[in-house]
Amino acid sequence: MVLSKGDATSLTPAPKSIPLSVSPSERARLRFQVEGNAIVTGGAGTLGFEASRALLEHGAKGLMIFDVNPTQSSLKAAELQKEFPSATLGFKIVDITDEAAVKVAVDETAEYLGSIDILLSFAGVVGCSHALTMTPQEFRRTLDINTTGAFLVAHATAPHMIAQGRGGSITFIASISGHRVNYPQPQVAYNVSKAAIITLKNGLAAEWARYGIRTNTISPGYADTILNEGEGLRECREVWMERNPMGRMGAPCELTGVVVLLCSRAGSYINGSDFVVDGGQTLF
């Protein structure tokens, strides 16, 4: 493994300070400015879409949504295009477990946008099967999508960031489930897949830092999304909220602050970190 020297000749030098001649409001804007273009996997989902909008709000020039839902993806891309008419936007229907398809999609995205500077990996599945009755196929599928799929997209994206010569930011969405066992629902396969994502982040952060690529994870707690709706989850939702110091589940917009931090100038020295955003759920 080769580490960066961190000097002016490397891809990891300390950033230059924002000049004090710039107005305070402009310094604040520049501190959290997002530059370049992004891929967001699972970008048509609730959390991925909120993150996509936040990147564009903070200055991203282009964005490509990777998702498996064609109808939802086209609608979300159109919504963003209407809101950000000057941005270069698009969507691709991608099965992130298909190595060849992922490489083609990433290569085409780099050509279409002109560069890939940010990767946000939101794509994933959730399952609530008991370990005794879970099939090996179900276990493998969960890890194949949540862990291997995330790696395949990063593996296809990193060479573009390296060739561009200015690094980039990769952020995987892990979960509090990668830190401790869920209650009351059984989710052993999901827990394993998210714990693996956190460890994957560690390895890539160490190996790819010399290229100027920062790799981090965000571990959300229970959020008010479509995955956590329905009468079948009513009792679980009550337990989750009862065991949270803040007494509620998270709103999708409450994840965007960390996303912007990691993808902007403000996160230039954050590498190999995991940000738990759960209202204190994992304190108990």
Please identify every residue annotated as catalytic. 175, 190, 194
Of 265, 259, 262, 170, give the one whose Cα is nearest residue 220: 259
Residues 6+ apart with CB under 8 A from 277: 218, 219, 220, 221, 250, 254, 255, 258
Could you tell me if 277 and 250 are in contact, meaning their C-beta atoms sit under 8 angstroms apart?
yes
Handedness of CA 44, 50, 55, 59 (dihedral sign): positive
Determine contact, residues 228/284, Cβ cutoff 8 Å: no
Alpha helix segments (H runs only) across 87-242: 99-113, 136-143, 149-164, 188-208, 234-242
